[in-house]
A and B are shown apart, each in its own frame.
Chain A
Amino acid sequence: MLELNGVHAHYGKVHVLQGTSLEVHNGEAVGLLGRNGVGKTTTLKTIMGLVPATGGEIVFDGRGLTDLAPHRIPDTGIGYVPQGRGIFPTLSVKENLEIALTKAPPSQVTDYVFDRFPRLKERLSQPGGTLSGGEQQMLAIARCLVMQPKLIILDEPTEGIMPILVQDIRREIKAVNDTGVSILLVEQNIKTALRLCSRIYIMEKGTVVHEATAEDLKNDTETLHRYLGVTV
């Protein structure tokens, strides 16, 4: 459903993405791992049109994304949870949640979201900035859900979250995936990625250098060590 073919991207003259290719199939949860600064965030931003692709193609549901105005990309069915969560601190929780909606979502969607995130419902009129890190992450996910996306891409959703809440966030992502929404997950936390995703890509210096099923990667200590510097 989402396909990146040899995508390039630059920040000024710096060539950050150097031919990144990856694929997410319908209903699948895919992980994108790699050390600091290899270009994971840039890959997601390029998908969202926030960083222009300078080469290659990005196709979602048969439709090329690179020619679309960036603010039209969410409309195609892609939800985005940015690194650092991207909650607007001075907007209320309700305003954050409904920021992108031009009309109210069907009540079963809002019911579902408030069922899953009862704490957000209690805090609707509070400024987004007063929520805890974990609650903000839930809000960022909920904000995607009300847009009824087909794919959600998440950039390090467990970064800077209290360890006891990491499990909650994992559970929510899993629940979203179980409803048939595809997931593209960027993570530093390898355990989270291995638990949630069936397939994993590993990036290095702006390209994907390794692809494996989570099952295989779990036992491939050499690859894990080489690209991610972890010894399991």
Chain B
Amino acid sequence: MELVIALGMNGIVWGLIIALIALGLSIIFGLLDIINIAHGDFFMVGTVLAWAVFEGTGNYWLAFAIVPIIGFGLGALIEYAVIQPIKNAAALSIVATFGLSIILQESVRATYGAAPSRLTAPIETTIPLFGLEYEVYRLFAAFISVVAIIAFFIFLHRTKMGTWMRAVRYDPETATAMGIPARRVYQITFAIGFAMAALGGVVAGPITTVDFQAGVDVLPFCFMAVIIGGLGNLEGTVAAAVMLAFFEGVMASFADPTMARIGSLCLMSLVLLIRPHGIFSGATR
């Protein structure tokens, strides 16, 4: 029983981190029509940068502040160099971002190396929770993810840039005719998407391994969350990520992780059979 609770808790924590990362994937897809195969690698770059900050300064907390900013810059740069040239050719986005994924992985392998390593959490204490000793850092990770997700929604609904993002998403032509710099909105959206994945990497760093292939595992999970949540439905993405990870966590307590993943793929197929536009379609758009 304790194992089920522990893995279920871990599932929820991981689900919130995935929600943060998948939210970035979802806004990039929603606004730019880009299917970002490199999104898992944005997360991976976040973990590696967090590792680098820790190695360089000895202070993991700094990574929470620095890495999202670097991610934002990298995102803006990549949008300019890779995404803008293929605008209006959405089908090319899979090829282009797949290439980007390889470039990011190989750059990390060439610099950081191929050997995975582990980071020690900046908080190492545990507290008793539901009859088990639970790592405080995992609770902190969940907290940071929730704060970042809420901050993003506030940004989307309360700031000029957020309003512009919603307008451009609906009708880029009219938005432009009203004076909105759609080009810049696309670039900032992509940059925010990278920053969110990178922050996810910092948060997850101490509870996963730092590895140039870390994104390969995260990407399908994010896609599942985006699809089950309903394409382009941001709130749905968040809810689906948490549910999926909780489900996989509980499954993993009595089956091996591969079976758990198969289980959640089956769950996704089932959801799509019953509700082809995602569980939360029609609720909010």
Contacts and interface: CB of A to CB of B under 8 A. Distances in A.
A90 B285 contact: yes
Interface in B137-196: 160, 163-164, 166-167, 170-171, 173-182
B179 A89 contact: no
A45 B167 CA distance: 18
B178 A74 contact: yes
A71 B166 contact: no
B174 A86 contact: yes
Given A71-B182, A88-B171, A90-B285, A48 B166 contact: no
Contact of B167 (A49, A50, A80, A91): A91
B175 to A, nearest CB: 8
Contacts of A99: 163-164, 167, 175, 178, 180
Central interface residue in A49, A95, A102, by most chain B CB within 10 Å = A95
A80 B166 contact: no
A88 B166 contact: yes
Interface in A26-53: 45, 48-50
Contact of B170 (A74, A90, A143, A147): A90
B180 A100 contact: yes
Nearest to A48: B177
A75 interface: yes
Decide if the interface of chain A is mainly helix, strand, loop or mixed. Answer: loop
Interface string B231-265: 00000000000000000000000000000000000
Contact of A71 (B170, B171, B179): B179
A102 to B, nearest CB: 7
A196 B100 CA distance: 56
Interface centre among B160, B163, B285 (most CB of A within 10 A): B163
Interface in A58-117: 69-75, 80, 82, 86, 88-91, 95, 99-100, 102
Contacts of A147: 179
A75 B179 contact: yes
A79 to B, nearest CB: 9
A69 B181 CA distance: 9
Given A90-B166, A91-B166, A95-B163, A100 B179 contact: yes
A225 to B, nearest CB: 34
Among A71, A73, A75, chain B packs the most CB atoms within 10 A around the CB of A71
User: Interface centre among B173, B176, B178, by most A CB within 10 Å?
Assistant: B178
Interface in B103-139: none
Contacts of A95: 163, 167
B166 A70 contact: no
A74 B179 contact: yes
A71 B163 contact: no
Contacts of B170: 88-91
A74 B167 contact: no
B174 A82 contact: yes
B171 A86 contact: yes
Interface in B177-223: 177-182
B83 to A, nearest CB: 19
Contacts of B182: 71
A100 B178 contact: yes
A71 B177 CA distance: 6
A75 to B, nearest CB: 6
A89 B163 CA distance: 12
A5 to B, nearest CB: 22
17 contacts: A45-B173, A50-B173, A50-B177, A71-B179, A71-B180, A73-B179, A74-B178, A75-B179, A80-B178, A82-B177, A86-B171, A90-B170, A91-B163, A91-B167, A95-B163, A99-B167, A100-B180
Complex A-B, nearest 8 residue pairs according to Cβ-Cβ distance, in ascending order: A86-B174, A74-B179, A100-B179, A100-B178, A71-B181, A80-B177, A48-B177, A70-B176
Interface of B: 160, 163-164, 166-167, 170-171, 173-182, 285
Given A72-B179, A73-B179, 8 more contacts: A73-B177, A74-B178, A80-B178, A88-B174, A89-B170, A91-B166, A91-B170, A99-B164
